[in-house]
Amino acid sequence: MSARALLRPVRGRLILAVALQALSSVSATGVLVAMAMIGDRLLAGAGAVCTIALAGAGAALLSVLCAAAAGALTHLADTGLQLRLRRQLASRLSRVPLSWYAGRGSGAVKKTVHDDVAALHHLVAHTVLDVTAVVVTPLAALVHLATVDPVLAALCVLPAVAGALLFRRAMANAGPQMAAYGRAATEINNAAVEFVDGIAVLKTFGRAGEAHHRYRRAADAFSDFFTTWAAGTTAVTTASQLVVTAPAVLLTVLAAAVPAVAAGVVTPGAVVAFVLLAPAVAAPVATIGRQTQALRTGLSAAGAVADVLRTPVRTPGTAEPDGTTIRLHDVGFGYADGVPVLSGLDLELPPGTVTALVGPSGAGKSTVARLIAGLHEVTTGRITVGGVDVRDLDPAVLHHTVGFVLQDVVLLRASVAENIALARPGATAAQIEAAARTARIHDRIAAAPGGYRAIVGTELVLSGGEAQRLSIARALLADPPVLILDEATAYADPHAEAEIQRALSALTAGRTMLVIAHRLAGIRHADRIVVLDAGRITEQGRHAGLLAAGGRYARMWRAQQLTPALEETA
Ligand SMILES: Nc1ncnc2c1ncn2[C@@H]1O[C@H](COP(=O)(O)OP(=O)(O)OP(=O)(O)O)[C@@H](O)[C@H]1O
């Protein structure tokens, strides 16, 4: 979608608004013409100015009404456009791959979603009309003055031409400068977001003073850039403004008109017309900078929004999985180009079985979970659910088939009930409570003042382990045939962990499970244990077999058996 296509839905209303604004500007000029005609009549002693005065008043009324109608139209067009764009952006941004966000930074995304859409408001609601007025008013004034005296009319164009030429010189390098301006503004946005995101951890290490370092640097760079740019152009820009001021224009015209009146080649009435209308011919040049800038900003914002809306997203397929078997076929993946995290991974999760994925930190276990969840796309190979590539599955079907309790629990700033019912919005209060009880989080929720209506993060602040149990309640309620647990009990104390394990055990019957755990004791009864090391499967089998093999798993098991003893003797 191009910037032009973006504005297509409101084109009809904008054209009508431009026509009304043009009529308003012509009518406003008509008022000045009527005043000039009255002056001419009075100077000539012709009297009878009533009709002209009435016509002038009519023109004034028409001008006001047309301007109001034009403004109402553009604001209506803008409201509809903003709503449509925000919906389209929300829909697109929810479907772009996570890597798209990683490649940008939240500041840049926020700039497009918020600032650029707001800049479009100015373009559609104001700039279009302002530019119309700036073009039509001087033209209408000039046309009338040309009928009064063509030579003097040509003369009053001179200040406008001089102002425009000076302004062009000031803006000679504006294209690259505007691009640099946009980059500097984006850098400030990114730095501000980073500042807010990182402040807690920096404070923890007593380095709060440095927290805003990048932000300050970005703001300084922005200020330096702007000062240098302004210093190089201020003199010429000021000159371009000065030559089009009313006194400068009147001086130019009167320098020729006064001798012409004395010589009897121009009437005093004609001079009145020039005094009233000549400033209007040149005045818009003073606003060229502002209007051009507003147009550029608006069009570049439209371009940025159009770019986001053009971001390719995979159209969800309509294929239905045949069963719930999950297979990883020769899967390779890396977060960054040339840095593989997983390579040649073949893995099958047969229905009703529990597969445990273990391995040292950084081996890629959570990455496997994220790939199955569709949060990232495999670089090579494929992942299938019931024989269908996850990329060809409708995300809704994927998430009904596979439930996730991932390491990084994300809770929404919504009620506890809404958070639990995320994957099943129609769930009843009783079903939500039952899931919370099974996940051993009900008592904590019931003890909070708002209970299940309390807003998570403000009215109910949960610890890491509690958040984990709430996300287990979520998965329990969704009741998917396949469940992936990534460090599901990482935050829980031993007592709570045992309870959660019991609750989860009840779930496993008839279900496919992939459990990613560091503590091997919890998964030693798994149907299959897969050992991942540096993104490759190095061993797999049942607990006893792997122990007997004396490989990596056996070493990890022995190390974990020793650890409690060491703690006790310490
Ligand atoms: N979002 C990311 N961007 C870039 N690299 C990442 C990202 N997430 C993980 N990695 C890298 O991918 C590799 C595997 O990480 P992963 O979290 O899958 O390991 P893991 O086996 O689950 O580790 P742990 O047991 O410590 O949680 C690591 O080298 C990690 O640095």
CA of 335 to the centre of ligand 1 (A): 9
Alpha helices, H only, 205-353: 208-211, 213-242, 246-262, 268-282, 288-310
Q: Which tops the pLDDT comparison, 74 or 394? A: 74
Q: Looking at residues 131-140, what average pLDDT do you find?
A: 92
CB 450 within 8 A of CB 460: yes
Q: 479 CA to middle of ligand 1, Å?
A: 28
pLDDT for residue 203: 66
Ligand 1 atom with the smallest distance to the CA of 359 is: 21
| pLDDT tens sequence across 17-40 | 999 999 999 999 999 999 999 988
Mutate to test the pocket of ligand 1, among 342, 357, 365, 532 (most ligand atoms within 8 A of CB): 365
For residue 144, what pLDDT is reported? 93
Quick: pLDDT tens for 243-297. Answer: 889 899 999 989 998 899 898 888 888 899 999 999 988 888 878 777 877 888 8
- Kindly state the average pLDDT of the residues 64-72: 95
Q: 326-569 adopts what CATH topology?
A: Rossmann fold (3.40.50)
Pocket test for ligand 1, best of 328, 366, 406, 530 (most atoms within 8 A of CB): 366
Strand ranges of the sheet holding 402-405, from the earlier edge strand across to the other edge: 402-405, 482-486, 512-516, 354-358, 528-533, 536-541
432 pLDDT more than 90: yes
Q: Tell me: pLDDT of 225 over 70.
A: yes
What pLDDT is attached to residue 192?
Answer: 78
pLDDT above 90: residue 501: no
- CB-based contact 439:472 (threshold 8 Å): yes
pLDDT of 482: 87
pLDDT at 51 over 60: yes
155-212 pLDDT tens trace: 989 998 998 898 888 877 777 777 777 778 777 777 777 777 777 666 666 666 665 7
Largest CA distance in the chain: 121
Q: What are the domain boundaries of the chain? A: 3-178+232-310, 326-569
Instruction: With 0.90 as the threshold, say if the pTM is over it.
Output: no
Give the residue with greater pLDDT, 423 vs 249: 249
C-alpha dihedral sign at 43, 48, 53, 58 = negative
**Span 229-243, pLDDT tens digits:** 778 788 888 888 888
Look at residue 519 in the predicted model and tell me its pLDDT.
80
Range with the poorest average pLDDT among 14-18, 90-94, 229-233, 503-507 = 503-507
Q: Looking at residues 79-84, what average pLDDT do you find?
A: 88
| Confidence band of 509 (pLDDT split at 50, 70, 90) | low
Contact 353, 548 (CB under 8 A): no
- For the chain, give the mean pLDDT: 84
* pLDDT per position as a tens digit, 523-566: 888 899 999 999 999 999 999 999 999 999 999 898 887 665 44
Distance 499 CA to ligand 1 centre (A): 28
Q: What is the CATH superfamily name and number for domain 3-178+232-310?
A: ABC transporter type 1, transmembrane domain (1.20.1560.10)
Task: Give the pLDDT confidence score for residue 504 in this predicted structure.
Answer: 62
Express each pLDDT in 447-499 by its tens digit: 988 899 999 888 888 887 788 888 888 888 888 888 888 765 555 566 666 66
Task: State the pLDDT at residue 194.
Answer: 72
Which residue owns the Cα nearest ligand 1 atom 14?
Answer: 364
Does residue 567 have a pLDDT over 60?
Answer: no
Distance CA(159)–CA(241), nearest Å, equals 10
Most ligand 1 atoms within 8 A of CB, residue of 367, 377, 515, 520 to mutate: 367
Around ligand 1, the residues with Cβ closer than 6 Å are 335, 341, 359, 361-367
DSSP three-state, residue 368: helix
Is it the case that residue 371 has pLDDT exceeding 70? yes
Q: How many angstroms is it from 334 CA to the middle of ligand 1?
A: 10
How is residue 552 written in tokens? 């990596």
pLDDT, position 291: 80
